[in-house]
Structure 1
Amino acid sequence: MRRLLIAAALPAFLLACDEAHDEAAHTGEDWTRGMEQAFVEKDDAKMDGTGCSGVRVPDQGDFGGKVILTFDDGPNPNTTPDVIATLRAFNAPATFFIKGSNGRGEAAQAILEDIVQDERFILANHSWSHSDQKRLPIESVERETGDTNAIIRGAGAQPLYYRFPYGSSSCQTAQAVRDAGMIITGWHIDSADWCFAAGGGYCPERTFQHVPDSFRGDMAGFVMSQLRRSNGGILLFHDIHRSTADALPELLQQLQDAGYTFAGLNDQAVLPLLHGVEPPATPFIGHACEADADCAFAADTRVGFCHPNGFCTLECAGYCPDKSGEPYTFCVADELNLLPDGPGGVCVPQADEANGDCADVPGTVDRDADRFIGDSGAAARTRRACVPAIEQPEE
């Protein structure tokens, strides 16, 4: 009888160990280092596109207020069902990037099948072990990808989307994933829920330095501050954390109250470049103009206007929106003193082959420029940008 009792207790014990392991994996030095690097790499996507990166997304804002919810590392039988219930209550589509090793067992399989049976949800691949795939032999990457795809197929879905752990990839690992017929999917906004979970609702600087001090106890505020920059985008959460599951209802309500709507990862109108679709042409930063009416676009509360040099721009401090199919943008100082409220910044395109290295942007010159930071708290950056030309006074 004693042996039977011990045997019966083993599955619950092992499950508890698995959950504890998942939580611990989000608090170690490797995790912090990986997510710190991903945050910087995501910002540097404004420099050279997606390339071989696992975190950069080819589509950049403005996303028209569309938010794409994604959840990594599940399933966790203690938390994932609560996340699913909240999503259904808000009629919100979502994608679950599962860790293959967490998909074993009857309880996990039941959750995965529940996800697959809901047309609002997508089951996707997040490797088998959550190891840094860039550091693994290609054979191991291929095996982890295939084994996790087998779990997804076993639940009744066809795997299409893949997210690298930590967004960490190389050209070789990225090609291996693409050769498996999968779309590499990064993110625009890291909720840092893993950091807030590790700190009991407070994200310490030693764990993640990129959360401003004003938001270290406010995950929702941190998320909202990032969403405003791009007016939506792909949002990263982890469904294995109890704190994430508990915070999700209030956060989704805040998003709705702020006017955001939810879209699926497979929405090609929101993420055309991710799916290899050419986006339609509409006015944007750097386009030629003669009047403000030619610049009918906006980002958060800012409205596009026609720069006196003849191109569309926006007022900025630190950040400018990007747009699918357009050169990346950059915020530079307003050297012509155009802005009514005093010194500030204006958005310009970065020098790019698509704009003839600024030759196609009226009244600009191609040169290195420093980012205008203002009160944004953005990191200092220098980029080759299409900077408004300043006429020299006649002698």
Structure 2
Amino acid sequence: MLNRRAFLRTALAGTAGVAVGAAGMKEIPHWLGLDRPPVAGGYAAGADVLDAVRHPGVAVRYYVETTEPVVAFTFDDGPAPHWTPMVLDALDAANVPATFFMVGQNLAKNADLVRGRMDRHEIGNHTWAHDDLATLDLNGVTKTLKRTEDEIHQQFGRPVTLLRPPFGHIGGSTMLAADSLGYDVVLWSKAMREKMFAGNPEGQAKDIVDAVRPGSILLAHDEGDDRRLVTIKGLATMFAGLRDRGFRMVTVSDMIATGKKHSTT
């Protein structure tokens, strides 16, 4: 079954000459219904599906509000044989915990890479196949998240409480699924800029160390192409530089707990 985006591409390819000549590109989304978000059950679903709603709201966190000098490193898309062992080695050498948002199918293929190495680290849900959740209905979002959650539980025997949507894309169906599964949604306040600092790990490290503020959530990856190496080679310098500034590295959940404690004092 084609989703709306795929259908649009197909329709445009097959009817572009006729449609554009007859009414222009602006009319095509209207003809296809793309200007009428599917609030009752599609990717923009509202909360009229009341049996799926457990709470009045889902937390979406770009950072954590706290005055404590804490920062959370997060790594997306793994585990993978390319970079995950190198990331874990760097974290182990500096005794730093991190939060890994794992892709379910990658965990199923590469569980041996991380087995026995995740005790200090947190594991979050990053969908089964790096799915763009903003294009899926509630059933589709729930299916990919639950399949990934089951894989994480099978491999590590631990619960999952955090979701990072691939690309940071969120639709209403994502929020409903997160609510039903008991997730907080975690985005980021600062990302590695590997293209800008290609071949310059020290520059990438300085960019991170200088930018971090209490409660920052940092986005990195442990899967991908060679550009990831500029981040991985700079991790030790990041850790040292942040410690020199008085920061502690913690998991996202530990930082959320710190923020909650701060808000009650």
What TM-score bracket applies, with the shorter chain setting the length?
0.5 to 0.7
TM-score by length of 1: 0.47
Whether 2:70 is the aligned partner of 1:66: answer yes
Counterpart of 2:241 in 1: which secondary structure? helix
Distance 1:53 1:183, change over 3 A: closer
Distance 1:175 1:127, change over 3 A: same
Distance 1:69 1:217, change over 3 A: closer
Distance 1:269 1:140, change over 3 A: closer
Letter paired with 2:251: G
Distance 1:151 1:183 in 2: 19
Residue 113 of structure 1: aligned partner: 115
Counterpart of 1:271 in 2: which secondary structure? helix
Deviation at 1:61, TM superposition (A): 4.4
Q: Following superposition of structure 1 onto structure 2, how do residues 290-305 of structure 1 map, counting pairs within 5 Å?
A: none
Deviation at 1:71, TM superposition (A): 0.7
Residue 168 of structure 2: aligned partner: 167
Deviation at 1:52, TM superposition (A): 7.0
Distance 1:217 1:131 in 2: 33
TM-score by length of 2: 0.68
Residue 137 of structure 2: aligned partner: 137
Residue 148 of structure 2: aligned partner: 148
- Name which structure has the greater RCO, CA cutoff 8 Å, separation 6+: 2
Deviation at 1:257, TM superposition (A): 2.0
- Listed one character per residue, the Cα deviations across residues 51-107 of structure 1 (whole Å, up to 9, x for unaligned) are 8785634x3243x221111111111113111111111111111111011121122xx
Assess if the C-alpha contact under 8 Å between 1:132 and 1:166 holds in 2.
yes
In the comparison of the two structures, how many residue pairs are matched? 203
Q: 2:216 aligns with which of 226, 233, 240?
A: 233
Whether 2:185 is the aligned partner of 1:200: answer no
Assess if the C-alpha contact under 8 Å between 2:202 and 2:237 holds in 1.
no
RMSD of the TM alignment (CA)?
2.6
Distance 2:257 2:150 in 1: 29
Letter paired with 1:60: E
Distance 1:144 1:279 in 2: 34
Q: Structure 1: any 5+ residue segments left out of the alignment?
A: 1-50, 203-215, 282-395
Distance 1:278 1:254 in 2: 25
Q: Structure 2: any 5+ residue segments left out of the alignment?
A: 1-56
Higher helix share: 2
Letter paired with 2:101: F
Assess if the C-alpha contact under 8 Å between 2:60 and 2:184 holds in 1.
no
Assess if the C-alpha contact under 8 Å between 1:161 and 1:185 holds in 2.
yes
Residue 259 of structure 1: aligned partner: 246
Assess if the C-alpha contact under 8 Å between 1:80 and 1:239 holds in 2.
yes
Distance 1:61 1:164, change over 3 A: same
Assess if the C-alpha contact under 8 Å between 2:74 and 2:218 holds in 1.
yes
- Listed one character per residue, the Cα deviations across residues 152-195 of structure 1 (whole Å, up to 9, x for unaligned) are 012122222111112211232112122012221222222234x4
Higher strand share: 1
Distance 1:238 1:244, change over 3 A: same
Distance 1:153 1:122, change over 3 A: same
Distance 1:90 1:150, change over 3 A: same
Assess if the C-alpha contact under 8 Å between 2:202 and 2:234 holds in 1.
no
Q: 1:56 aligns with which of 62, 87, 91?
A: 62
Residue 243 of structure 1: aligned partner: 230
Identity of aligned residues (%): 27
